[in-house]
Structure formats: structure tokens, C-alpha cells
């Protein structure tokens, strides 16, 4: 009986030990982190020759492709994130890339490409057409792109950091750390990151279970224990490369430009009648050229005799081209390589034919859709113009959020002079009466322009004109505002005198203001004259920009030029 009791006790002890062992194992399994490793491709879900692309800490829907061992990037991604100068013509399937040495052009699936007038050969095509989408060689981008990027393998992925202003929260790891697929230690891990490595903290993801979401520098996003982040700091990503700036063609002195509006061959042949009274003006810009169709054709009323007379008077001549004709498709004209090239060659050819000193681009109908093509047009035109010793100037609205796609910073790196049209603060169809160019409007526009464009490339254009505004109160109570006419300086003062009203100085706009009533309507006018222009000229002088311009010749008077000469920057 005693022996039997000993056996039972021994069995009980063994059972307890076994239970305790199982409990220890269970507790260990419950407490121990998972040692299971997840396949990285589960994160990117790639198929076939695809490559993941992470741009500015975001995994893009677009995928790269690996062809014959080389990565290719979707053209839209290359332009949007890696280098805005990568311009790809989707219609003719041609890549264009402007450098200070010339324009690189490469057709899809061809190893031969052009560098200016020279023929070159690449090991693999710079541009590929794959399943109706165009891709740019990463090898080509490596030579030119001005962002940070790094290619990784297994799985294939490309990490791009392009936003120079975006701030990130960076954490430095205090010890070797596994990046897990979920916010606790039971999730499988993706990779192990060594002590001292830097990761981006995904601050928009809520912390759970003392775990936080991070992304490694090679583009792997997952979770780590909060305690592993030894230190954190806010910083931008350091990008060493910057866009190339083209060498500037310069007058070498302060520019004083007057636009001469002419509309017919007969008027275009006649020099400005008030030339003898101008003082300080050294550039005249006749409105000779205008886009005509979507094939890169433009009309011309240029005249060599006019140019010779201007040169004899000591003036440079910058022929102006506009895009004012209705129905033009600027995206097609400027975005199609053959038509853009035709336009560039035609403009430079016309400048040579008429012995011009420069061209002035007055394209005011650029849309967000056509903006990239417009900038490529400016690059290619400037390069060809410089070969022929021609100056390129470009007219721009006052900088604002709604027209940011004109990309003043890029214009300032490329063209010779970026012109701010510091007028049309209130315009004919705007539905609101007001100054065409108040002092505050000029101050703000000039300040914003020089914040984006080097001062030595900025010209500020002021008006010789103003608008008469008519306000009519309707039965509904709504006031209808129209502008019956624009007037030059003397014309505007004649209107005021004819209605026996005395202008009063308006400190807010820095102009004389007058109003009168007639036939049930209220008329308002903010006068532009020597006093108001002088105040604007002082703003320009203080900013130390490259010069001034005026729209338009014939709306000023002799006294205006006396003031301009005295106040020139």
C-alpha cells in the first residue's frame, strides 16, 4: 500500500512538473516576440517585372518596370518627382530634356538619341513604350535628376525624396530593431534595422500598444516599439542637387522697355511717333507676331526699316508674340515636339530676318494642363535664341496661387528677363471697379516676384493707362459694373474735366481718384499720372530689379518721361 502511494505521489509530481513546463512554454510563447519573417513583397504586392516607387514617403500606385536588368520610371512620375525638365511628348513619343549645352531628344524604344545637333548612342533606350505607357530610364535620370533617389532590390523598389520643403519627424534607433507588420511583437517582422539607423516616424498613424509606425530609408513601412526611438527630430530631407541655371543674356544695364502696340502691316512699319520725347527708354517691343493655329504657325507684320530706325535711335528691338487668338490649343502647339520645334525655329528665324535683338513672349492663356509644355517651349527657345545672341523675355501676371503653374522659379533659371505685369489688378470683365495698378498691388507683386526670381532677371511693368468704371444699380439691388473704356493719361484727365469733377488724392491706392454721376449711373476712375507712377517707380528702385517696362506707348505724355528718367533704377 505504501509503495502504491509513492507511485501516485510521483505521478502527481510529474504531472505538476509537466503542467508547469507547459505553462512556462505557453507563457514564453505569449511573452516572446514573433520570430516569423514576412516576405517583403507582401508589402509591395509586385508582379512580374514591376518595381515599387515611394515618393516623399508615399507608396505610389504607379509602378516602375525592370527591363533587361535596368529600371524604368513612368514618365509622369519622372517629371512630377524626379526632374520637372523631363518632358515627354505622349503623342509623338519623344523625350526632351533641356541642358545648358543643348536639348536632348530621344524617341521611344530607340538607343540612338540627339544631343543638340549631335547623334549619340545609349546602351539601352532612354524612353520605352510598354503596354501603351511611356517609361524613362533610371540610368538617364541618374545623370540629370535633381532630387534624392535610391534603387533597391529584392524586391525591386525606388525611393525618391523630392520635396525640399516638406518636414519629417526622424527617429534614430537605440538598438537593433525589427520592423513588424503590425503594432505589437506578435506580428511577423519584415526586416531588421541596425542600431543608429534613421527612420521616418509616420506621425499621422496613431500609436498602439506602445508601437509606432515608421518607414525605413529603403522604403519599408512597419511598426517598432516606441522605446527603440532613442531620439527624434523635425527636419527636411537633405537634397544636394539643384536645377541647372542657364547663362543669362543681359543688356548689361537697367532695362527701360516700352511696348508699341501695332496691328496692321502699315502701322507696324512706322516708328512710334513720340520717340523723340522719350527719355531713358532703351528697348522698344512692337506687337508684331501672333499665334495663328495649332500647327506652330504665327502671323508676322515685322519690318526691317522699323528696326533700323530703332537701332539708329539707340534702342534694342524685342519682337512680341501673343496667344490671343480664340480657339488655340496651347497644349497641342507646345506639347507636340514637331510643332513646338517649328514655332521655336520660326521665331528665331524671324528675329534673324528682321535683325531683332530679342523676343518677348506674351502668352496669357496658359492653363495648368499646358504649363509643362510651355516651360519646355521657353527652355528650347532660350537655348536656340542664345546661340543667335538673342534675348528672351517673358510676360507674367502678378504671382498668385491660381497661376502658380506658370512656375516663375523655373522661368527665372532659364529665360533672360521675367517681366511682372503689375497692372490689371481690376480688369474689364472682373465685375468690380477699382484701380488698375494700386501702389499696394505693385509692392506685393514685386515682393512676391523677387522671392521666386533673381532680381537681376526681373523687370516690373507699369501702366500708362487707366479704366473708367460704370456702376448701375439694378431693380434687384445688384450693382452691375462694366468698364466702357481704357484711357491714357491725358484722355483720362479730359474725361474728369468734362464732367466738372475734382480728383482727390487716395492714400490707399497711391493715386488721384474721381467719380461723377450721369444718366443714373455712377462713374469711377483712378488716375494714372506722374505722381502715382513715381511712387511705383520708387518701389521698383528699392527692390533693385533689372528694369521697368510700360504698357503702352502713346498713352503717356512728355512729362512722364522726365520723371521716368529721373527715377530709373
pLDDT tens string 493-550: 999 999 999 999 999 999 999 999 999 999 999 999 999 999 999 999 999 999 999 9
Grid-cell match 528665331, residue found: 348
Helix or strand or coil: residue 204? coil
Grid-cell match 530593431, residue found: 177
- 281 Ramachandran zone, left/alpha/beta (phi>0; psi -120 to 50): beta
Q: Are 140 and 122 in contact (CB under 8 A)?
A: yes
Residue 246 is given by DSSP the state P
Edge-to-edge strands, sheet with 94-99: 87-89, 94-99, 102-107, 112-115, 118-121
What DSSP letter does each residue of 431-465 carry, written as one string?
S----SS-HHHHHHHHHHHHTTS-GGGEEEEEESE
Distance in angstroms (rounded) separating the CA atoms of residues 188 and 179: 9
The average pLDDT across 460-489 equals: 96
Predicted model pTM = 0.93
Residue 81 is given by DSSP the state I
- Residue 21 phi/psi, 5-degree rounding, is -65, -45
Distance in angstroms (rounded) separating the CA atoms of residues 449 and 541: 14
Which of 251, 244, 253 minimizes the C-alpha distance to 100?
Answer: 244
The average pLDDT across 393-421 equals: 98
Neighbours of 132 (CB within 10 A): 5
Q: For position 27, what pLDDT does the model report?
A: 45
Q: For position 299, what pLDDT does the model report?
A: 98
Q: For position 13, what pLDDT does the model report?
A: 66
Q: Are 298 and 339 in contact (CB under 8 A)?
A: no
Grid-cell match 509623338, residue found: 92
Q: For position 569, what pLDDT does the model report?
A: 77
Beta-strand ranges (E) seen in 365-413 are 391-396
Is residue 1 over pLDDT 80? no
Distance in angstroms (rounded) separating the CA atoms of residues 430 and 176: 63
Distance in angstroms (rounded) separating the CA atoms of residues 364 and 223: 50
Distance in angstroms (rounded) separating the CA atoms of residues 550 and 343: 27
Q: For position 562, what pLDDT does the model report?
A: 97
pLDDT tens string 20-42: 545 444 444 445 688 999 999 99
Q: For position 15, what pLDDT does the model report?
A: 59
Q: For position 33, what pLDDT does the model report?
A: 81
Query: And the C-alpha cell for 563?
Result: 520723371
Helix or strand or coil: residue 334? helix
Q: At what angle do helices 530-543 and 558-567 cross, to 10 degrees?
A: 20
Q: Residue 359 belongs to what H/E stretch?
A: strand 358-362
Quick check: bond before 155 cis, omega within 30? yes
Q: How confident is the model at residue 294 (pLDDT cuts 50, 70, 90)?
A: very high
Neighbours of 3 (CB within 10 A): 7
- The 3-class secondary structure across 290-333, one letter per residue, is EECCCCCCEEECCCHHHHHHHHHCCCEEEEEEECCCCCCCHHHH
Is residue 308 over pLDDT 70? yes
Distance in angstroms (rounded) separating the CA atoms of residues 337 and 134: 15
The average pLDDT across 245-251 equals: 96
Q: Work out whether the CA dihedral 517, 518, 524, 525 comes out positive or negative.
A: negative
- Residue 447 phi/psi, 5-degree rounding, is -60, -45
pLDDT tens string 53-88: 999 999 999 999 999 999 999 999 999 999 999 999
Q: For position 29, what pLDDT does the model report?
A: 45
Question: Residue 490, exposed/middle/buried by CB under 10 A (0-12, 13-18, 19+)?
Answer: exposed
Residue 84 is given by DSSP the state T
Which of 182, 170, 236, 172 minimizes the C-alpha distance to 213?
Answer: 182
Query: And the C-alpha cell for 322?
Result: 501673343
Amino acid at each position: 500500500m505504501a509503495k502504491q502511494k509513492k507511485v501516485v505521489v510521483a505521478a502527481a509530481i510529474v504531472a505538476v512538473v509537466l503542467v508547469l513546463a507547459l505553462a512556462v512554454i505557453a507563457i514564453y510563447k505569449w511573452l516572446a516576440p514573433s520570430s516569423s519573417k514576412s516576405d517583403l513583397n507582401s508589402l509591395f504586392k509586385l508582379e512580374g517585372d514591376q518595381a515599387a516607387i515611394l515618393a516623399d514617403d508615399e507608396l505610389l500606385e504607379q509602378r516602375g518596370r525592370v527591363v533587361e536588368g535596368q529600371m524604368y520610371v513612368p514618365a509622369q512620375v519622372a517629371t512630377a518627382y524626379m526632374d520637372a525638365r523631363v518632358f515627354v511628348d505622349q503623342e509623338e513619343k519623344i523625350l526632351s530634356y533641356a541642358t545648358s549645352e543643348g536639348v536632348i531628344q530621344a524617341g521611344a524604344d530607340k538607343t540612338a538619341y540627339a544631343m543638340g545637333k549631335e547623334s549619340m548612342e545609349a546602351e539601352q533606350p532612354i524612353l520605352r513604350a510598354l503596354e501603351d505607357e511611356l517609361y524613362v530610364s533610371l540610368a538617364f535620370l541618374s545623370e540629370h535628376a535633381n532630387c534624392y533617389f535610391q534603387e533597391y532590390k529584392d524586391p525591386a523598389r525606388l525611393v525618391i525624396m523630392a520635396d525640399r520643403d516638406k518636414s519629417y519627424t526622424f527617429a534614430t534607433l537605440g538598438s537593433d530593431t525589427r520592423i513588424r507588420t503590425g503594432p505589437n511583437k506578435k506580428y511577423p517582422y519584415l526586416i531588421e534595422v541596425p542600431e543608429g539607423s534613421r527612420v521616418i516616424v509616420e506621425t499621422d498613424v496613431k500609436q498602439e500598444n506602445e508601437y509606432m509606425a515608421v518607414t525605413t530609408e529603403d522604403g519599408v513601412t512597419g511598426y517598432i516599439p516606441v522605446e527603440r526611438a532613442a531620439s527624434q527630430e523635425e527636419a527636411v530631407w537633405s537634397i544636394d542637387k539643384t536645377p541647372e541655371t542657364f547663362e543669362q543674356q543681359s543688356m548689361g544695364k537697367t532695362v527701360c522697355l516700352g511696348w508699341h502696340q501695332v496691328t496692321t502691316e502699315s502701322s507696324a512699319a512706322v516708328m512710334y511717333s513720340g520717340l523723340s520725347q522719350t527719355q531713358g527708354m532703351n528697348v522698344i517691343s512692337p506687337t508684331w507676331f501672333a499665334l495663328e493655329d495649332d500647327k506652330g504657325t504665327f502671323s508676322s507684320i515685322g519690318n526691317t526699316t522699323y528696326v533700323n530706325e530703332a537701332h539708329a535711335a539707340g534702342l534694342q528691338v524685342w519682337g512680341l508674340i501673343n496667344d490671343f487668338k480664340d480657339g488655340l490649343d496651347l497644349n497641342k502647339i507646345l506639347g507636340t515636339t514637331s510643332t513646338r520645334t517649328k514655332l521655336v525655329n520660326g521665331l528665331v528665324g524671324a528675329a534673324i530676318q528682321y535683325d531683332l535683338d530679342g523676343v518677348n513672349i506674351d502668352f496669357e492663356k496658359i492653363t495648368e494642363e499646358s504649363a509643362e509644355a510651355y516651360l519646355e517651349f521657353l527652355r528650347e527657345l532660350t537655348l536656340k535664341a542664345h546661340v543667335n545672341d538673342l534675348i528672351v523675355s517673358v510676360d507674367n501676371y502678378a504671382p498668385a496661387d491660381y497661376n502658380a503653374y506658370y512656375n516663375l522659379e523655373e522661368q527665372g533659371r532659364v529665360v533672360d528677363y521675367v517681366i511682372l505685369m503689375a497692372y490689371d489688378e481690376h480688369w474689364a470683365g472682373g465685375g468690380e471697379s477699382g484701380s488698375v495698378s494700386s501702389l499696394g498691388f505693385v509692392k506685393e507683386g514685386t515682393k512676391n516676384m523677387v522671392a521666386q526670381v533673381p532680381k537681376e532677371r526681373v523687370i516690373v511693368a507699369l501702366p500708362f493707362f487707366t479704366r473708367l468704371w460704370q456702376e448701375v444699380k439694378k431693380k434687384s439691388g445688384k450693382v452691375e459694373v462694366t468698364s466702357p473704356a481704357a484711357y491714357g493719361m491725358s484722355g483720362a484727365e479730359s474725361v474728369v474735366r468734362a464732367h466738372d469733377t475734382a480728383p482727390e488724392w487716395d492714400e490707399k491706392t497711391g493715386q488721384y481718384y474721381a467719380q461723377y454721376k450721369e444718366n443714373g449711373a455712377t462713374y469711377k476712375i483712378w488716375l494714372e499720372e506722374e505722381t502715382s507712377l513715381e511712387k511705383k517707380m520708387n518701389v521698383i528702385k528699392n527692390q533693385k530689379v533689372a528694369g521697368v517696362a510700360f504698357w503702352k506707348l502713346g498713352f503717356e505724355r512728355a512729362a512722364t518721361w522726365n520723371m521716368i528718367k529721373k527715377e530709373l533704377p
